[in-house]
Amino acid sequence: MKLDGKRVLVTGASSGIGLELARVLAARGAVLAISSRSAERLEQVSEELASAVPGIRKPLPVACDIADEASVRHLIGACVESLGTVDVLINNAGICVYGSVEKTQIADFRALLDVNFLGPVQAMLEILPFMKRQGHGLIVNISSVAAIHGVPYLGAYSASKAALVALSQSMRAELAGSDVRVMLVYPDYTESAIFENETKVGGARRPEGPYAPASDVAEAIVRAIEAEKRDLILGTRGKALAFFDGTAPRLVENAMRKIAVELREEE
Ligand SMILES: NC(=O)c1ccc[n+]([C@@H]2O[C@H](COP(=O)([O-])OP(=O)(O)OC[C@H]3O[C@@H](n4cnc5c(N)ncnc54)[C@H](OP(=O)(O)O)[C@@H]3O)[C@@H](O)[C@H]2O)c1
């Protein structure tokens, strides 16, 4: 797929992977809509992109709380109205909760599901009629390697990202025969603000890196879009996890148990 001139909506474009995606996509000539909750930050990003890539159309900033149904409806409506349609939707906005499942409150599970699962679901439901009518479209769902196998102290996060994987797989089958595709991306640990902003519920310390630069992750995602890949698992650890989870699940379980014990913090 050539991205030059394609209309692309990136959610969570104010920082981290989403911001880097917007930068790479702008450089490829995509016509962008960028979204997050902060209108002020989005305006800055839009201006930065417009001046960094001479000749591109200034990205459309649309403030949206992805956890709010009306807000998501407004986001998709504004993109369709201003850009004409959306060729590529990148569901990237996301949050994290870190700590043991036992210490995680139901409210934390709900917040994760609202942002990491129901938000993308609603964006897809809103955009699908347009994509089907125009006869093409690509939805890129940013999941996580933590969805391949539940990771200790990321139980609620892993579950929210695994829900997105399962739904995407169902949609792929249902969309058979149309030219609307769903791509899944599984990033490994990536440098971003997600770790500062996450809710820490306790019970464990965070593992030390390595963390991939968000710009490398964004470049890999854009290349995978161009190559029309179905799935992109990032990093050696992520690829090894997927391989061994399929071929030697006991090995993965033992490794996860070891990590859990190493990171556990008694109070
Ligand atoms: N970093 C990693 O190690 C890693 C690994 C695997 C997967 N991922 C996934 O990659 C995606 C991007 O994460 P990141 O690491 O780049 O994190 P980040 O730097 O914290 O960026 C998260 C983005 O989501 C937006 N966002 C958060 N809550 C939102 C809401 N309720 N409504 C709309 N936008 C919201 C944030 O903007 P506002 O705060 O302005 O709304 C921000 O633009 C997420 O889906 C994350 O789960 C990250």
| Res 266 pLDDT > 90 | no
Q: Please state, in angstroms and rounded to a whole number, the distance separating the CA atoms of residues 91 and 61.
A: 15
Please report whether residue 174 resides in a domain. yes
Active site includes 189?
A: no
DSSP-derived 3-state class of residue 79: helix
* pLDDT per position as a tens digit, 155-209: 999 999 999 999 999 999 999 999 999 999 999 999 999 999 999 999 999 999 8
Domain containing 59 — which CATH number? 3.40.50.720
Residue 57 lies in a domain: yes
Distance 92 CA to ligand 1 centre (A): 6
Contact assessment for residue 204 and residue 265, using Cβ atoms and an 8 Å cutoff: yes
Count up the domains in the chain and report the number: 1
In a domain, 2, yes or no: no
User: Which DSSP helix (H) or strand (E) runs through 254?
Assistant: helix 249-263
Range of the domain at 234: 7-263
Ligand 1: distance of its center to the CA of 161 in Å? 12
Does residue 181 sit within a domain? Answer: yes
Is 12 touching ligand 1 by the criterion CB < 6 Å? yes
Q: What is the pLDDT of residue 209?
A: 83
